Structure 1
């Protein structure tokens, strides 16, 4: 019994509310530190064996692929790279004015730094840029936050607080949607308009390592620590199949045509058809960090870019539907492991007023260099691959002076003039706008007014390396 005059206080533990995606007003990208908002810090650790099947909807038809967003040649581009040191690098690539008389030498773009910014309180592990103009940038970190940036205005829009673990994957399957994955075992699908959480996809029993959205934009594959490959119907927002791989898939990628996908684990890359038939296995000599499908510049075939501990990017040419892979070239020039690679189609100006199209590859390495390569140098012959493989040097580089880079992505700059579907009478049309056209400036103003504030604690704890 309490003493006279004392007060008994009853303490009841309340169940925390279910977490929802939140986004906070941001600050402009700059070279100076800004206040960092901190999300939740406690990660949560979260099958049958059906055959991988196709959803009932026609996700795999040629019409669906043709209707999906294909890469377009652009006149300029932006490179964004993240690092263990929590820094975000932004480089603008542009071509010099063509000179007279014209020469057969392709013009070399210049890389100009446009921002260097401490984006997160943890290392940056995932980067994604939106297609058809490259307006949006999303970055994910070990601090469990997804940050959204407006690349056109070079401004931070805010934070998406949805996951309770490090962000492992980000991707824009279309201009209007963002997909994320995390160590908490969940995937999330956001609508760009208002940054609304559309679906939280649960099925993995451990960390999700990577997601690959089919070129049709309707289905996705994911791999994770639970050693399963899972398939998701993005239209209905649910899982439709899963397969036990027997090993932990670290990366999964679709090819451009949506007819084949790759699953990487350790030093191996397995190539599968859409009916889950194993076509071939690539056994690489060293630990792999990234893989990327890419069409050849001449359009005659497809290659697979493989970055690894061997300080280079190996280029495998894929032949036929059987997916036979033969190494034909190497992107060289780094002095440490290559962590990430991305590709983009560009339209190079000529003195005559015409232009030619090529494909660039950008790489990010632990040596601190961002290298740019012209993939038109890949040998054309598929029947007689060179031995040793043909070596391709970078056409230009950017030195971050020792920053350990983790990921890199291209964003479109000035889009080629022949892409008329991106603008109508000077106004950008939103994919999800049912009321008509809205100018890009009006759309951005509306979005910024809709965002609510969120205050969190700043965490200065350094990441263990």
Structure 2
């Protein structure tokens, strides 16, 4: 990977509350919060990009898992259908296993919607980038000064990383340049989540704050004190809700910062993820925990309807460390055209795949037990993280070659088109601020008076 010359230093910019999702007055941890001017995001109900919705679904998938033992596992997942027995068969086959870092792997992420990039983050403070199609290392991004805690691709064209050094970095996939270094947390950043629109991110950290970032401008724009150190933050698939996890507790908020549900799970949680149902409408919340199960919560937007566990994905012998999901196309003749695969990794060294279609549309009267449809045993490796990537798209081969082969040329690639069409790019977005509503969020300009360096944004 080419080294990038460091840009000339320029004065640190202080963030202001600009155009981002609307958060109005609410309650945090059951206590009223002061009303302040609220940012807003026009069209936030349009949670996904039309281009992504129109992309053909993959007929296979890749599972990539990291481990404490520094090993990176790559598996190919395939689905076949037997018309005689009317049975769908899922299978996992190893693609690669190798030591990817010199320290334990703490985060993995794959670029979405047919993207080719894989990013891995480690306690060695390096983010490594891999080409999944060619199965080779591209290089290392050494911009953090602490262990990598979280990685995600908001689109095929950008990578967002979080670290124990208290910063988030936004990279451009075309040349892996750092577009922005987002500074505001005091201490470790534990988790970051990007709104489905791609315009806003939330992050939580050791400083017990929840911070909001305007990705269109590359600025921190608001923050609120949680009073406790949150470990994870996740958006729902339509961007109308987000969940904050602390130990065995899940707090579910609306975008108005109203706390509508508090869930106390039976054991300590390790990972959570919202996922669209295959049967029926709306999202379910997947929660992996130390009780060896992946619990499925039914979440209502009505505060008077408490969440409850409607199903459990079982089969692991130790704690479930991480979960990811992917929607795929099913073979011709199958009873459904699509389904959603759920993948879990555990400290028992096993990788499990489940079919979310096993969850019926009607809420079961008792907790449904769902068994894995495929599994892989790493023989005792302590797995830490997992991501799912698109495999081959049905009908995408011509004369034995992928239609996407042209993307590997030095001409305009998927990532370039994403940057120009799907993603406005940092500083390219224009939106209007709406300060008519109160907010549970603290304006970063006001926060700066309390602590030096809060909400700072620097360009590398």
| 2:267 counterpart SS class | coil
- Specify whether residues 398 and 141 from structure 1 end up closer, same or farther in structure 2 by C-alpha distance, changes over 3 A only: same
Structure 1 segments unaligned to the other structure (5+ residues): 1-21, 26-47, 438-465
Aligned residues of 2:74 and 2:94 also touching (Cα < 8 A):
yes
The count of aligned residue pairs is 383
2:108 is equivalent to residue 130 of structure 1? no
Residue in 2 aligned with 1:344? 326
Counterparts of 1:259 and 1:123, CA distance in 2? 35
Counterparts of 2:332 and 2:52, CA distance in 1? 27
Aligned residues of 1:379 and 1:390 also touching (Cα < 8 A):
no
Map 1:42-441 → 2, pairs under 5 A:
55=39, 57-58=41-42, 60-63=43-46, 65-67=48-50, 69-70=52-53, 73-96=57-80, 98-99=81-82, 101-105=83-87, 107-322=88-303, 324-351=306-333, 356-382=337-363, 385-387=364-366, 389-416=367-394, 429-433=413-417
Counterparts of 1:331 and 1:53, CA distance in 2? 43
| 1:379 counterpart SS class | coil
Counterparts of 2:47 and 2:90, CA distance in 1? 35
| 1:376 counterpart SS class | helix
Q: Which has the larger radius of gyration?
A: 1
Displacement after TM superposition at 1:158 (Å): 0.5
Query: How big is the alpha-carbon RMSD for the aligned residues of Structure 1 and Structure 2?
Result: 2.8
Aligned residues of 2:324 and 2:344 also touching (Cα < 8 A):
yes
Residue in 2 aligned with 1:32? none
Aligned residues of 2:251 and 2:263 also touching (Cα < 8 A):
yes
Counterparts of 1:52 and 1:405, CA distance in 2? 43
- Specify whether residues 137 and 200 from structure 1 end up closer, same or farther in structure 2 by C-alpha distance, changes over 3 A only: same
Displacement after TM superposition at 1:291 (Å): 0.2
Displacement after TM superposition at 1:346 (Å): 1.4
- Specify whether residues 435 and 195 from structure 1 end up closer, same or farther in structure 2 by C-alpha distance, changes over 3 A only: closer
Aligned residues of 1:50 and 1:243 also touching (Cα < 8 A):
no
User: TM-score when scaled to structure 1?
Assistant: 0.77
- Specify whether residues 431 and 143 from structure 1 end up closer, same or farther in structure 2 by C-alpha distance, changes over 3 A only: closer
Aligned residues of 2:295 and 2:311 also touching (Cα < 8 A):
yes
Structure 2 segments unaligned to the other structure (5+ residues): 5-16, 18-32, 397-401, 422-460
- Specify whether residues 365 and 193 from structure 1 end up closer, same or farther in structure 2 by C-alpha distance, changes over 3 A only: same
- Specify whether residues 360 and 334 from structure 1 end up closer, same or farther in structure 2 by C-alpha distance, changes over 3 A only: same
Counterparts of 2:181 and 2:329, CA distance in 1? 38
| 1:193 counterpart SS class | coil
| 2:46 counterpart SS class | helix
Aligned residues of 1:259 and 1:274 also touching (Cα < 8 A):
yes
